[in-house]
Amino acid sequence: MEKVLDFLTDLSVNNNREWFQANKKRYDESREKVLFLTEVLINEIRKFDSTIPVLPPKDCVFRIFRDVRFSKDKRPYKTNFGAYITKGGRKGMYAGYYFHIDPAGSFAGGGVYMPPAEQLRAIRNYLAINGAEFLELIESKNFKKTFPEMYEDKLKTAPKGFPKDHEFIDLLRYKSFAFSGGINNSQISSDKLIENIVNSFKQLQPVNAMLNDALADM
């Protein structure tokens, strides 16, 4: 994956259409490597998570082209590759597994990131009842070692419909239930990359299972 990092590094300082077109072959080669990695990860995840179907890798890998229509940042390309593996691929509404390759900071993680209101409400209703079990999973020593970061975006007060003194109110205030652990550039280029990512995802599977239980009737 070293050539992927090199391409992304060069793209970050040449983020324009002329350079991209001149280096289209490098982009295509990098994307093929990411698609292959995604395919391998899908097959490995399916060994311990039966909810993941056979997925075309291209349905999981995000486009490198940025939507600049409503953004002040007019750079046309992302400077990373990312893939989200879950039922429905990158557009799926379920908890899943994500990896992100970026010279400035790669990581593996997953869960549910910024769900729409209806899904978020379903997760909160579920965790209001099953919060103790969920906290036991995400606060375990092994999980925290693998995923030291939970996406820290939450309400300042109790969400609508929940009392401020609810026993799991701090958990219910979150707007995302997403977790990540960093991968340095030497690890990205290591021949143990797949093994390390798969081991991380195995830690995440019980958490995803609970989140998907919450979304089962959506």
Residue 43 is predicted with a pLDDT of 97
Using CA atoms, how far apart are residues 130 and 110, in angstroms rounded to an integer? Answer: 20
Domain ranges, residue 18: 2-214
Residue 149 is predicted with a pLDDT of 86
Residue 42 is predicted with a pLDDT of 98
Mean pLDDT, consecutive 10-residue segments, the chain of 218 residues? 95 97 98 98 98 96 90 90 96 96 96 96 97 97 94 93 95 97 93 95 98 90
- Regarding pTM above 0.75, the answer is yes
Q: What strand order describes the sheet that includes 177-183?
A: 81-85, 96-101, 106-112, 177-183, 149-150
Burial class (CB in 10 A: 0-12, 13-18, 19+), 174: buried
Q: In which residue are the tokens 């070692």 written?
A: 145
Q: In which residue are the tokens 């299972």 written?
A: 209
Residue 30 is predicted with a pLDDT of 98
Looking up residue 180, the CATH number of its domain turns out to be 3.30.930
Among candidates 26, 108, 95, which has minimal Cα distance to 64? 26
Cα→Cα distances 164→59, 101, 123, 152, 191, Å: 41, 39, 17, 19, 49
Using CA atoms, how far apart are residues 120 and 155, in angstroms rounded to an integer? Answer: 12
Residue 74 is predicted with a pLDDT of 86
Count up the domains in the chain and report the number.
1
Using CA atoms, how far apart are residues 21 and 98, in angstroms rounded to an integer? Answer: 28
Residue 70 is predicted with a pLDDT of 79
